[in-house]
């Protein structure tokens, strides 16, 4: 015969985890803790990771238009350099209180030239059909980009205040890489 030395406690003897007190003070305390964590996470994200920006002007049409909103990735350029084709958000070199958005065309050390509206990088024409609908009129002389700067152009070339007007963009002026258009919802997309 086999006997069991352990016995299962009857249901009334089992211990249940203590329930937290459900008082008004407890609920207020929990609310403020949750609120403080949320605000902390929000400020961390906005300061170091992402930030929302509003587009104003026609310089990036038809890819970005006035009133659209984009999220900028502020973190990425701490680990990698801007790439040709990136859309960058930056402090306007002529007035750092203004924020501009343009596309990276030339990288540090590149020689950039525009001939009859066509862009040449290191004496080779680049294909911009994916983002430029109306090429610029005219030409721009060859120029080598400094080692701490990039060359940027708006996608709407004839309506853009860009590196052709004010020169190279210092890498230190870049605030973020435009990453996601989230407004209007009908045009929400990851930006390329």
Mean pLDDT of 130-153: 90
Phi-psi region at 44: left, alpha or beta (left = phi > 0; alpha = psi -120 to 50)? alpha
Peptide bond into 62 cis (omega under 30): yes
Residue 146 in this model has a pLDDT that exceeds 50: yes
Length of the chain (residues): 192
Residue 112 in this model has a pLDDT that exceeds 60: yes
Output the DSSP codes for the chain. Answer: ----S--PPPGGGSPPPPPPP--HHHHHHHHHHHHHHHHHHHHHIIIIIEEEEE--SSTTTTTS-TT-EEEEESSGGGTS---TT-EEEEE-TT-TTSEEEEEEEE-TT-EEEEETTEEEETTEE---TTT-SSPPSS-EEEEEPPTTEEEEE-SSGGG--SHHHH-PEEGGGEEEEEEEEEESGGG-EE--
Domain annotation covers residue 12: no
Question: How confident is the model at residue 114, as a pLDDT?
Answer: 93
162-187 pLDDT, tens digit each: 999 999 999 999 999 999 999 999 99
Mean pLDDT of 74-98: 94
Structural domain range at position 166: 50-190
Q: Which phi and psi (to 5°) does residue 189 adopt? A: -165, 155
Question: How confident is the model at residue 36, as a pLDDT?
Answer: 78
This prediction's pTM: 0.76
Question: How confident is the model at residue 1, as a pLDDT?
Answer: 45
Domain annotation covers residue 79: yes
Mean pLDDT of 38-49: 68
Provide the number of structural domains found in the chain.
1
Residue 16 in this model has a pLDDT that exceeds 80: no
Domain annotation covers residue 33: no
Instruction: Give the CATH number for residue 174.
Output: 2.10.109.10
Domain annotation covers residue 18: no
β-pair type (189-190, 174-183): antiparallel
Domain annotation covers residue 13: no
Domain annotation covers residue 32: no
Measured CA to CA, the distance from residue 85 to residue 181 in angstroms comes to 16
Domain annotation covers residue 38: no
Domain annotation covers residue 158: yes
């Amino acid at each position: 015969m086999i006997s069991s030395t352990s016995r299962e406690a009857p249901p009334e003897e089992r211990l249940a985890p203590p329930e937290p007190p459900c008082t008004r003070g407890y609920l207020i305390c929990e609310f403020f803790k949750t609120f403080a964590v949320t605000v902390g996470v929000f400020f961390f994200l906005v300061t170091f990771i992402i930030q929302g920006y509003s587009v104003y002007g026609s310089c990036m049409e038809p890819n970005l238009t006035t009133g659209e909103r984009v999220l900028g990735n502020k973190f990425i350029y701490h680990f990698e350099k801007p790439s040709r084709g990136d859309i960058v958000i930056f402090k306007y070199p002529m007035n750092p209180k203004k924020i501009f958005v343009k596309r990276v065309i030339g990288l540090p050390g590149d020689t950039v030239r525009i001939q009859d509206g066509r862009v040449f990088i290191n004496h080779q024409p680049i294909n911009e059909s994916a983002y430029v609908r109306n090429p610029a009129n005219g030409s721009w002389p060859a120029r080598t980009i400094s080692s701490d700067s990039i060359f940027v152009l708006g996608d709407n070339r004839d309506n853009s205040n860009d590196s052709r007007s004010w020169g190279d963009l210092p890498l230190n002026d870049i605030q973020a890489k435009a990453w996601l258009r989230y407004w209007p919802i009908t045009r929400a997309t990851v930006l390329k």
